[in-house]
Structure 1
Amino acid sequence: MSDSDKYPADSGRRRFVKGVVGGAALAGVGTTGAAAVNSATSSTGSGGGPTQAYAIENTGGPAPRGMPQIPIEIDDEGYIRGVWPEVQTVTQNGVEVELAITEDYQGTGVTYSQDWFQYCGVQTYDGLNPTFESDNYFRSDNGAYDWQSETYSAGDRLNVNDFDEYETWGNGIGQAGLGMPATGTWRSQDTEDTMPIQVLRSTRIEEAAQDNEWLAASTDQGVIAWLNKCTHFCCVPGYKQAASSATFGGEDGVYCQCHQSVYDPFSIVETLFTALPRPSE
C-alpha cells in the first residue's frame, strides 16, 4: 500500500480548540466534557477535501485524529445497522456526480457524508460507492471475543439482545463493566473489500446520549459504532483485545498494537481532516 492510499501528507497541520476556528461549530462534544477538534490537513483533489466528522477521540500515540463514528439504528427485531447517508445527484465542476450525503442529520445540524470514511484506501472500496446495494446491517466477523465467537458465525447480523451482559462484561483486560464489544463488517457483502467496524454497548453511552444531541441521534440503546481503521497506518485496532495495552494506558480504550495509538470510545469529538477523493467511476 502506497502512502497516498493511507492518508494525506501533513501540510501545516494545526490543532484547533473551541473559540479559535469556527467557534462552537468546531468544538468537540466528548462525553468527558472536553472541547477538542483533532488535527486538520490541507486541500486535495475533487471529491473528498476538507471534512468535519464525529469520531472516537485519539488520546495517545501517533494517530493524527480519531476514527470516524458510524451513526446506527436498531430495527424492531434488535438487529443493528449503520445508517448510510442519502444518495443525491449533485453538480461538481459542471459534472453530475452521485454522492451519499445527509445535511442536518436528524435535526442536529451535522452534515453526515461518505467523506467521513474516505481515508486509508477505503475510498476505493465497493462499499463506499454511494449506490452500492447493501442492507447496511453490521455482520459479525470471526469474532474477536469469546462471547461473540460462541454466539455468531461469520456473516451473522449483530443483535442488540445478544449484548445483554453489557453492564458487567469483562475479559480480564482493564476494568470490567464499561461496556460489551463486538467486531464486524459493514457494507462488505459480496465484495473483496472489507470495511471493519467495532460496536460497543455501554451504560456510559446511554447516559451521555440523554443530554447530548448528537449522541441521541447517532446511537441507540447504548450502542455506538465506528469504522475500525487506525488513522495512523490503517491497522485494525481493538477495544480490550490486547493485554499489552496497559503498558500504553489503553487497557480501557481502543488500542492499536501496530504503533500504540489509543482511542477513547466514550469521548466523541468533531474532527477536521482532508478526506481522500473517491476514484472516478
Structure 2
Amino acid sequence: MSNDDKYPTESGRRRFVKGVVGGAALAGVGTTGAVAVNSATTSSGAGGGSTQAMAIENTGGPAPRGMPQIPVEIDSDGNIKGVWPEVQEVTESGVTFQVAETENYNGSDVTYSSEWFQYCGVESYEGIKPDYESENFFHSGANPAYTWQQDTYSEGDTLNISDFEDYRSWGNGIGESGLGKPATGTWRSQDSEDTIPIQVIRSPLIEEAAQNDPWLQASTSQGVIAWLNKCTHFCCVPGYKQAADAAKFNAENDVYCQCHQSVYNPFSVVETLFVARPRPEE
C-alpha cells in the first residue's frame, strides 16, 4: 500500500451521517479489519459476535473502522451523561446471559447495544458489564488534553454544558476555530479499576446536522456528540485538535491518532459492521 492510499486526502467536512452503501461495501470496511483485530475471540463468553454500530468515520490510516458513538443526554443541571442501553437476559444455544441493548433507540430505528464497545480489551472492563451500576455521567480525567479543561475542572468533576458556551468560536491554534469545543474524560469508571476513555465535542456542525437526521436527533443533545476514544487499530487513545503534526496528514480538523496516523471525522457518523468480542465469563 502506498502512502497516497494509506493516509487521508482532503477532509470532507460537510459529510455527516451516511447510510450503508450496500452490504458488500459495509462488509469490506467492517469485517476485514475485524478479523484481524478479533481473530482470537473464538472462546465462549457473554455476548459478542457480528455487530452493527454507529461510529465516527475512519477516513485515513490503518484503523479498520470508526470509533463507536455513545448516545448522550443532558440533565436539568446541565450535566452531560452517556446513555447505557437497557439491560435484559438473552438465551442463545441454551446459554442465558445478560446483554444491554435498546431496540429502536429514541425512535431512530437503530439498535443500540453494549456490544458496540466490546473490542480492544474494553469488553473485560467492569464498566461494560450490562448490570454495572453507574450514574453514567462523563467525568473529567486526571490529565485533560485541553488548557481550558485543565483550568475549569478537577479530576472527577462532571462535564457540564455551561462550560461549552463558546463552542461556536473555540480554537486552540490547531486547524480551524469555530468547529466545536472538545473535552476528554471517563465514563462508567468512577468505582472501577478500569478507565473507559471518552471524548466529547459540542459542535454547531452536529447541531445543524441533527435537525434532519433521525439518529443524530436521537443520540446527540445541544450539539454534543461523544464516542469511546479507543482507536480500532491498536487501541491507542486518539485526540481531536491535540497534535500539531496532524496537519501533515490533513487531520488538523479531525480526530488524529499520533501512534500510527489513523484519522477519524467526528462530524461524519456511519454504520459499521465488526465482530464484537465476547465479555469474559464470570
Q: Does 1:31 align with 2:32?
A: no
* Deviation >6 Å, runs of 4+: none
The answer for the alignment partner of 1:130 in structure 2 is 130
Distance 1:94 1:34, change over 3 A: closer
3-state secondary structure, aligned to 1:148: helix
Residue 159 (structure 1) aligned with residue 160 (structure 2):
yes
Match of 1:23 in 2: none
**Alpha-carbon distance in structure 2 between the residues aligned to 1:77 and 1:131:** 26
Partner in structure 1 of residue 78 of structure 2: 78
The alpha carbon displacement at 1:34 in A equals 7.5
Stretch of structure 1 that moved more, 194-203 or 45-54: 45-54
User: Quick one: distance in 2 between partners of 1:246 and 1:168?
Assistant: 20
- Which amino acid in the other structure matches residue 261 of structure 2? Q
| Structure 2 unaligned spans of 5+ | 1-14
Q: Tell me which residue corresponds to 2:117.
A: 117
Equivalences, count: 253
SS in 2 for 1:139: coil
> For residues 1-281 of structure 1, what are the structure 2 equivalents within 5 Å?
31=16, 37=26, 38-40=29-31, 41=34, 45=42, 46=44, 47-141=47-141, 142-281=143-282
Distance 2:76 2:181 in 1: 21
* CA deviations over 1:40-75 (Å, ceiling 9, x no partner): 246954521000000000000000000000000000
Distance in 2, matches of 1:33 and 1:235, equals 26
Equivalent residue letter for 2:30: S
Contact 2:19 2:271 in 1 (8 A): no
Matched AA of 1:233: F
Identity of aligned residues (%): 67
Greater percentage in strand? 1
AA paired with 2:68?
Answer: P
Secondary structure of the residue aligned to 1:232 is coil
Measured after TM superposition, the shift of residue 33 of structure 1 is 5.4
What is the distance in 1 between the residues matched to 2:236 and 2:17?
26
More displaced stretch, 215-224 vs 107-116: 107-116
Structure 1: 5+ residue runs without aligned partners?
Answer: 1-29
**DSSP-derived class of the 1:149 partner:** helix
Q: Could you tell me which amino acid in structure 1 is paired with residue 110 of structure 2?
A: V
Structure 1 residues 280 and 262: alpha-carbon distance in aligned structure 2, compared to 1, 3 A threshold: same
Counterpart Cα distance in 1 of 2:239 and 2:19: 23
Shift of 1:35: 5.5
Q: 1:151-207: per-residue Cα shift (whole Å, max 9, x none)?
A: 000100000110011000000000111000000000001111100000000000000
Equivalent pair of 2:18/2:269 in contact (CA under 8 Å): no
Amino acid in the other structure paired with 1:39 = G
Q: Are the aligned partners of 2:18 and 2:271 in contact in 1 as well (CA < 8 Å)?
A: no
2:12 aligns to what?
A: none
Secondary structure in structure 2 of the residue aligned to 1:265: strand
Contact 2:52 2:273 in 1 (8 A): yes
Separation in structure 1 between the aligned mates of residue 206 and residue 123 of structure 2, nearest angstrom: 29
How far is 1:89 from its partner? 1.3
Letter in 2 for 1:202: S
Q: Report the RMSD for the aligned CA atoms in angstroms.
A: 1.6
The answer to whether the 8 Å contact 2:105/2:112 transfers is yes
Question: CA separation of 1:113/1:202 partners in 2, compared to 1, >3 Å: closer, same or farther?
Answer: same
1:95 Cα deviation (Å)? 2.2
Secondary structure at the aligned position of 2:263 is classed as strand
